[in-house]
Structure 1
Amino acid sequence: MQNLTRITRNPEVMGGKPCIRGIRVTVGTIVGLMASGHTTSQILAAYPYLEEADIYEALAYAAWRVEEIEVPLENPSIAISS
């Protein structure tokens, strides 16, 4: 794993969830915004204290965590019949 220096975890900040640089913006918030179609520019406008590198590092952290932890899906496969 690469050195992700912008991602921090502190039990006293956001309940210990991974945050960006110790501020109250979680990795999950950034990933959720990106997944719902927000652009990097839109996120930076909404959170002016973030930097573009913060967003990319949040995505890198999330990708690393997904590879490390098996996340069960509710419907892992849906059969399609004709």
Structure 2
Amino acid sequence: MITLDRITTDPGQMNGQPCLRGMRLTVRRVLEIAALYPDSTERKQEFPELEDEDVRQALHYAALHLPDQIISLSGDALVA
């Protein structure tokens, strides 16, 4: 079982969005950063506060919370 101990939520911070380690860095933003900086060395230069384990847990959290559906290229959504 994977522990998501770095994912935190606080209704008083970032409107209760899931964040990393109590920082004002949302899971969504971490996913954007991981997509923009796939090279961890470059990512660490731009975001030194973001650790590899933060990215791993953010990706896992997102995968757990995505709806299980298939979306066609035409935009029609079908539930799988």
TM exceeding 0.5 = yes
Q: Evaluate the alpha carbon distance shift between residue 33 and residue 70 of structure 1 in structure 2; reply closer, same or farther with a 3 A threshold.
A: same
Where is the strand percentage greater, Structure 1 or Structure 2? 2
Which has the greater radius of gyration? Answer: 1
- AA aligned to 1:34 is A
Q: Evaluate the alpha carbon distance shift between residue 34 and residue 49 of structure 1 in structure 2; reply closer, same or farther with a 3 A threshold.
A: closer
Q: Which residue of 1 aligns with 2:53?
A: 53
Aligned alpha-carbon RMSD (Å): 2.1
Q: How many matched pairs?
A: 73
In the TM superposition, what is the alpha-carbon distance from 1:33 to its structure 2 partner? 2.3
Q: Evaluate the alpha carbon distance shift between residue 33 and residue 71 of structure 1 in structure 2; reply closer, same or farther with a 3 A threshold.
A: farther
Alignment partner of 1:56: what SS? helix
Q: Which has the higher contact order (CA 8 A, sep 6+)?
A: 1
In the TM superposition, what is the alpha-carbon distance from 1:42 to its structure 2 partner? 2.8
What are the equivalent positions in structure 2 for 1:1-82 lying under 5 Å apart? Answer: 2-36=2-36, 38-39=37-38, 40-66=40-66, 69-70=67-68, 76-78=72-74
In the TM superposition, what is the alpha-carbon distance from 1:2 to its structure 2 partner? 2.5
Farther off after superposition, 18-27 or 49-58 = 49-58
Unaligned runs of 5+ in 1: none
Q: Evaluate the alpha carbon distance shift between residue 15 and residue 43 of structure 1 in structure 2; reply closer, same or farther with a 3 A threshold.
A: farther
Unaligned runs of 5+ in 2: 75-80
In the TM superposition, what is the alpha-carbon distance from 1:35 to its structure 2 partner? 3.0
